[in-house]
Chains A and B, each alone.
Chain A
Amino acid sequence: MISLSSRVVTATLDTLRSCGAGSRECLLYWTAGDDRGDVARVVHPIHDSTWSSCEVDGAWATRFFLDLPDRAERTVAQVHTHPGPFVEHSATDDAHVLVPSTGFVSIVVPYFGLRDDHDGWGIWQLGSDGSWAAAPEVITWRTG
Chain B
Amino acid sequence: MSAEAGQDRFDIVVTYNGSEKTLEVNPHQAVQAVLQHALREFGVTSNQHMMALFFPDNREITDLAKSVADWGIVAGTKLVLRQSAILAG
Q: Known A54-B88, A74-B17, A96-B50; judge A128-B45 contact (CB<8 A).
A: yes
Chain A's interface size range is: 35 or more
The A interface, classified by DSSP as helix, strand, loop or mixed, is mixed
Whole-angstrom distance between the Cβ of B57 and the nearest chain A Cβ: 8
Chain A 98-143 interface residues, beta-carbon cutoff 8 Å to B? 98-102, 126, 128, 130
Interfacial chain A residues near B84, Cβ < 8 Å = 58
Question: Does chain B have a CB within 8 A of A12?
Answer: no
What is the number of contacts between chain A and chain B, taking CB atoms within 8 Å? Answer: 105
Binary interface encoding of chain B residues 1-21 relative to chain A, with 1 for a CB under 8 A from any of its CBs, else 0: 000000000000001111110
Q: Is the CB of A69 within 8 A of B58?
A: no
Q: Is the CB of B82 within 8 A of A61?
A: yes
Question: Does chain A have a CB within 8 A of B43?
Answer: yes
Tell me the complex Cα distance, A128–B18, Å: 20
Q: Is the CB of A100 within 8 A of B89?
A: no
Given contacts A54-B89, A58-B86, A74-B17, 12 further A-B contacts (CB under 8 A): A25-B89, A58-B84, A62-B54, A73-B18, A74-B18, A80-B88, A90-B88, A92-B88, A96-B50, A96-B86, A100-B44, A102-B46
Interface residues, chain B, with chain A CB atoms under 8 Å away: 15-20, 42-47, 50-51, 54, 56, 58, 60, 78, 80-89
- 23 A-B pairs with CB atoms under 8 Å apart are A55-B87, A58-B54, A58-B58, A62-B58, A63-B58, A65-B81, A66-B78, A69-B18, A71-B18, A72-B18, A74-B18, A75-B17, A75-B18, A78-B88, A80-B88, A90-B88, A92-B88, A95-B87, A96-B83, A96-B87, A99-B17, A101-B42, A101-B45
Interface residues, chain A, with chain B CB atoms under 8 Å away: 25, 27, 31, 52-56, 58-59, 61-63, 65-66, 68-69, 71-75, 78, 80, 90, 92-93, 95-102, 126, 128, 130
